[in-house]
Chains A and B, each alone.
Chain A
């Protein structure tokens, strides 16, 4: 018996050791020591290691809208046009210039010449057409590409997009998802296989992906923008927030994504590290279903709820790394934002008055659902909002839910109840933001309102900035008078990095674009 036990022990030991040895082969590149421990005679290799908070489930950016997945390939697969890093203007990418036709039904794009894909394919109008067709066919982008019609090749470097209706936000839609894919390679592999070995035109080409562990890229010497700054880029997956900061502190990684408010000070106080912050786009609100037979159906009650919640208190939860909403869904800097609207500055007395005026002097009972363990401080935000509402007499029953269950209840509208808190992230375009609340949308939880739907439709068709602005301001005024819910806050996105990392440009859309990033080492 004992002999057998010994055999078992040896077997386990062997398994542990061999598995350990086998795995040393793959991630050697992951060790950041590479940059420092260069022995004489060996050329120093510049490696950028990123500690990322999630493992991508796909490296094909056009089949999903998750910025955290798309970040990994953002320096590999480029876009025709880009959103500016902070704001809502559109900047050239592989399309150098563009122009709308007078009727707004055609968009002509002039493409960059002399760009090749990592596999040698040439980038031209055919490739652009192919890429746009993939975008058009992708279900997650359907909301924004419904008006896209045929795509025509005019000459080798000119492509035209036809629209069913004039679409003022078309460029924003392209800024979000105009990924440039190699036609022959993509067609041969299909969307799924492509995800395992992506090819693009960016400065870094794909090397390997060990799932849940790391993704490696290396410099693409024929990049149109000149030789890349790093020889290799390694995305390491570190899901635990504290472990990610620890890895940055000890120099195992050079840059980390998704620094949580609780970890930010650790990075701020470390002289070898830098905290980079950028306003985000995830708009946190407490939404209400005003179609229900419930006090929240009364706009006056909803205004009262807005006065009851201290936006500054919520910002304080994030150590100031957030901004409050100004009584409207749109953010400052976005067309249609109106600074003259009532921003519902914290005023519990006024909230109580309004509640009494609406016929609820003793408040009422309300369930509040919110997802937990999904966004930084989600549970804390829910608890704080509940506490503020309790303070003006509304009896809140809190229902924290696992995110998948939260989504299920949200999709099955009838189970959601009168109020729920969460954050939606849309590109910084007024139409893309407000069209979530169009007719038939799962986010439209108010009685059908033709004024609102008409304004949303009107805004989409307008291509002139001034008229667009007027339209959206009108819409914001309606939603200020009859709030969609409680306008809360937009947290900033935080990145931590070694002070040696230079020219890192954080983006509002949460995509980590490393094409311009360099190092001082």
Chain B
């Protein structure tokens, strides 16, 4: 088992190299940072000079090797747009994104799990359908649309909450709902499914047979067992949170990483995009790695031949 896990960890290395290579090539294929940074009025000479200064005119393999050399030594380069180290720029935005992502997850969990349980307990009754329809409705509205509607209602009409920006807790409410809504439906669906499933398991029946109160059975056993798959599912949604954050951060003027990444992609800020993609990829890969290892621990047959 130990050797499998070790092998699995070693396998992450080619994934990393693959991602850096693909990101690198895709970026070079898709744009000219010189044209974007220097603006419309730049002359041909100025563009050439700029490309030479930042080594953008070197052969691709040389550029890639330079980049990898930097990555290995922990030097992720300088943003072409901001002229600042990319790591500094990303770290500056990280707290805002963690805060928004964290509170959206919390909101989704706090709302999704009880609704999921409720929905499972009232399975297939009209109440179950109405609750699920409402939750799904939230998921079916495009994020920017929901965000603007919330601003119109709660900020402009009612005047209860600020329209955007990062400040005290009141600034957090609308972006949290906007980003969290997309996750709620998912959590409701999996909670419902997991609870239904667990309730049918033998040991729950045993527990019931032993005369434990339904509530105790639910919270002691069913919910507890549903937690891990739920956390796994939530973990897998990190990529969704990141992409949702782009829209939410833009609508609510939230100074986070999502906005930085999307703006950098639009501006062809190669070093910044490369590092940001590597960062998001690392998060996703580590979560996947953890899940794979959990799989093996759970079901040893999956492991070796």
Residues of A at the B interface (CB closer than 8 Å) are 1-2, 5, 8-9, 12-13, 15-17, 19-20, 22-24, 27-28, 30-31, 57-58, 64-66, 139-144, 191-192, 195, 210-214, 236-240, 242-243, 246-247, 249-250, 252, 402-405, 407-408, 410-411, 424-426, 436, 440-442
> Which A residues lie within 8 Å of B105 (CB)?
12
> Which B residues lie within 8 Å of A404 (CB)?
30-31, 36, 265-268
Does the CB pair B253–A243 fall under 8 Å? yes
> Which B residues lie within 8 Å of A214 (CB)?
165
Beyond the given A192-B84, A252-B163, please list 14 additional residue pairs across the A-B interface where CB-CB is below 8 A.
A15-B98, A16-B99, A16-B102, A16-B172, A27-B165, A27-B167, A57-B81, A139-B49, A211-B255, A236-B253, A240-B250, A243-B164, A410-B35, A411-B32
In the docked arrangement, what's the CA distance between A332 and B216, Å?
81
Does the CB pair A426–B41 fall under 8 Å? yes
Does the CB pair B255–A212 fall under 8 Å? yes
Residue in chain A with minimal CB distance to B164: A243
Given contacts A2-B224, A27-B166, A243-B253, contact A15 B99 (CB under 8 A): yes
Q: Does B83 contact A (CB under 8 A)?
A: yes
Looking at B40, B159, B223, B256, the one whose CB has the most chain A CB atoms below 10 A away is B40
| Minimum-distance CB pairs A-B, first 9 | A212-B255, A19-B99, A213-B255, A139-B46, A192-B83, A16-B103, A247-B163, A404-B31, A24-B168
Does the CB pair B50–A139 fall under 8 Å? yes
Given contacts A12-B105, A407-B31, A407-B35, contact A140 B250 (CB under 8 A): no
Least CB distance, A464 to chain B, in whole angstroms: 26
Does the CB pair A58–B102 fall under 8 Å? no
Q: Does B13 contact A (CB under 8 A)?
A: no
Does the CB pair B168–A240 fall under 8 Å? no
Among B68-76, B150-158, B185-193, the one that faces the other chain is: B150-158
By size class, the interface of chain B is 35 or more
In the docked arrangement, what's the CA distance between A410 and B30, Å?
12
B106's partner among A2, A13, A192 (CB-CB below 8 A) is A13
Does the CB pair A20–B99 fall under 8 Å? yes
Residue in chain A with minimal CB distance to B83: A192
Given contacts A13-B106, A27-B167, A210-B255, contact A65 B41 (CB under 8 A): yes
In the docked arrangement, what's the CA distance between A210 and B254, Å?
11
A240's partner among B93, B148, B255 (CB-CB below 8 A) is B148
Least CB distance, A232 to chain B, in whole angstroms: 16
> Which B residues lie within 8 Å of A139 (CB)?
38, 42, 46, 49-50
Does the CB pair B83–A195 fall under 8 Å? yes
> Which B residues lie within 8 Å of A239 (CB)?
250, 253, 259
Does the CB pair A238–B253 fall under 8 Å? yes
> Which A residues lie within 8 Å of B93 (CB)?
211-212
> Which A residues lie within 8 Å of B267 (CB)?
57, 404
Looking at A2, A192, A213, the one whose CB has the most chain B CB atoms below 10 A away is A213
Looking at B46, B105, B156, B166, the one whose CB has the most chain A CB atoms below 10 A away is B166
27 sampled A-B residue pairs with Cβ under 8 A? A1-B228, A15-B98, A16-B106, A19-B96, A23-B168, A24-B168, A31-B167, A58-B83, A64-B38, A65-B40, A140-B38, A142-B45, A192-B83, A211-B89, A211-B255, A213-B255, A238-B165, A239-B259, A240-B144, A240-B164, A240-B250, A243-B148, A247-B163, A247-B164, A408-B35, A410-B35, A411-B35
> Which B residues lie within 8 Å of A1 (CB)?
224, 227-228
Does the CB pair A240–B99 fall under 8 Å? no
Least CB distance, A406 to chain B, in whole angstroms: 10
> Which A residues lie within 8 Å of B156 (CB)?
246, 249-250
> Which B residues lie within 8 Å of A141 (CB)?
41
In the docked arrangement, what's the CA distance between A441 and B106, Å?
55
In the docked arrangement, what's the CA distance between A436 and B42, Å?
10
Q: Does B297 contact A (CB under 8 A)?
A: no
> Which B residues lie within 8 Å of A143 (CB)?
41-43, 46
> Which B residues lie within 8 Å of A210 (CB)?
255
> Which A residues lie within 8 Å of B77 (CB)?
none
Looking at B38, B152, B250, the one whose CB has the most chain A CB atoms below 10 A away is B38
Given contacts A19-B95, A140-B41, A212-B260, contact A405 B31 (CB under 8 A): yes
In the docked arrangement, what's the CA distance between A20 and B173, Å?
11
Does the CB pair B103–A237 fall under 8 Å? no
Interface SS of chain B: helix, strand, loop or mixed?
Answer: helix
Does the CB pair B152–A246 fall under 8 Å? yes
B46's partner among A140, A246, A408, A410 (CB-CB below 8 A) is A140
Given contacts A143-B43, A246-B155, contact A30 B228 (CB under 8 A): no
Residue in chain A with minimal CB distance to B267: A404
Does the CB pair B44–A442 fall under 8 Å? yes
In the docked arrangement, what's the CA distance between A425 and B40, Å?
8
Binary A-proximity of B43-73 (CB < 8 A = 1, otherwise 0): 1111101100000000000000000000000
In the docked arrangement, what's the CA distance between A397 and B106, Å?
48
Residue in chain A with minimal CB distance to B162: A252
Does the CB pair B92–A211 fall under 8 Å? yes
> Which B residues lie within 8 Å of A252 (CB)?
162-163, 165
Residue in chain A with minimal CB distance to B80: A57
Q: Does B251 contact A (CB under 8 A)?
A: yes
Q: Does B169 contact A (CB under 8 A)?
A: yes
Least CB distance, B176 to chain A, in whole angstroms: 9
In the docked arrangement, what's the CA distance between A214 and B255, Å?
9
> Which B residues lie within 8 Å of A440 (CB)?
44
Given contacts A5-B231, A250-B159, contact A236 B165 (CB under 8 A): yes
Does the CB pair A405–B30 fall under 8 Å? yes
In the docked arrangement, what's the CA distance between A22 and B109, Å?
24
In the docked arrangement, what's the CA distance between A139 and B43, Å?
8
In the docked arrangement, what's the CA distance between A32 and B253, Å?
16
Residue in chain B with minimal CB distance to A373: B266
Interface residues of B in 81-122 (CB under 8 A from A): 81-84, 89, 92-93, 95-96, 98-99, 102-103, 105-106, 109
Least CB distance, B191 to chain A, in whole angstroms: 13
Does the CB pair A19–B98 fall under 8 Å? yes
Residue in chain A with minimal CB distance to B92: A211
> Which A residues lie within 8 Å of B95 (CB)?
19, 22-23
In the docked arrangement, what's the CA distance between A426 and B93, Å?
34
In the docked arrangement, what's the CA distance between A16 and B169, Å?
9
> Which B residues lie within 8 Å of A240 (CB)?
144, 147-148, 164, 250-253
